[in-house]
């Protein structure tokens, strides 16, 4: 496993930690591959009964690596299609708990939305900056965010790009709990351990019910999102300028 994803086990709980702090855990090529592999391997390991997904401080995940996308062009997006780490979170048959330790923006928020539920540090902040950067979502933002926070809040976040703090995220239902930063991982492991105490087949079947029950709605919405996003691919040369502008606007949160 690449060092861009750290792997640790606590009993039957697998902890996957995105480890690219100098880039706020943005999804560069190596991290895309490592995260996808880590998720797939965890899901196929019979000893792993729950997964905790988190990031190395100061961020959970800043989403697409716009520098790399602008430099590599289509090859960057092809890697996302070949090793779909964002979508794999939601495809897991193993329960996944997101331990949100910091900034969770755009593609990072799509990763978080693929988790079964989220626990947040008091330092966590959330934003959908797709529109401000000049790209359209393709990892499930419009398919999943409305089901979590409601249509109005989902549209507000996507249309404005505003940053939502941990307390507000709790109020609107984006996260289930906010804890002190230093207690985050322990609390996520505690909850994941409770999940592992349920008989294995019962838990897998329970998750299957939730996943397959939501598929008619989420699957259709995801297909629309991906089709429209593919048809309106941005000018990659403009991405870096837009990234700088958004980063400057959100500097305190990042």
DSSP run (H or E) holding 120: strand 117-121
Apex 209 CA angle, 63 and 192, nearest 5? 55
| pLDDT one-digit tens code per residue, 92-133 | 999 999 999 999 999 999 999 999 999 999 999 999 999 998
Which ranges in 10-150 belong to alpha helices (H)? Answer: 29-44, 66-72, 74-82, 85-91, 107-114, 130-133, 141-149
| pLDDT one-digit tens code per residue, 159-182 | 999 999 999 999 999 999 999 999
Helix, strand, or coil (residue 189): helix
**Position 147 pLDDT exceeds 90:** yes
How far apart CA 96 and CA 93 sit, in angstroms, is 9
How far apart CA 56 and CA 211 sit, in angstroms, is 28
């Amino acid at each position: 496993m690449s060092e861009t994803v750290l792997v640790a086990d606590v009993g039957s709980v697998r902890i996957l930690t995105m480890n690219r702090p100098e880039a706020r855990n943005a999804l560069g090529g190596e991290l895309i591959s490592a995260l996808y592999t880590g998720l797939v391997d965890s899901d196929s390991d019979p000893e792993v009964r729950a997964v905790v997904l988190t990031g190395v401080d100061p961020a959970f995940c800043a989403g697409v690596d716009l520098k790399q996308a602008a430099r590599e062009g289509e090859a960057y997006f092809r890697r996302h299609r070949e090793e779909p780490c964002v979508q794999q979170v939601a495809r897991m048959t193993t329960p996944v708990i997101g331990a949100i330790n910091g900034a969770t923006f755009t593609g990072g928020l799509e990763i978080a939305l693929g988790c079964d539920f989220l626990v947040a540090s008091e330092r966590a902040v959330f934003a959908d900056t797709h529109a401000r950067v000049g790209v359209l979502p393709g990892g499930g933002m419009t398919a999943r965010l409305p089901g979590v926070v409601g249509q109005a809040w989902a549209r507000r976040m996507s249309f404005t790009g505003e940053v939502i703090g941990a307390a507000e995220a709790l109020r609107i239902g984006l996260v289930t709990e906010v804890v002190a930063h230093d207690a985050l991982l322990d609390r996520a492991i505690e909850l994941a351990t409770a999940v592992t105490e349920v008989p294995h087949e019962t838990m897998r079947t329970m998750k299957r019910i939730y996943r397959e029950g939501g598929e008619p709605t989420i699957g259709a919405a995801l297909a629309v999102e991906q089709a429209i996003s593919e048809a309106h691919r941005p000018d990659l040369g403009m991405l870096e300028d837009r990234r700088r502008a958004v980063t400057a606007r959100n500097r305190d949160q990042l």
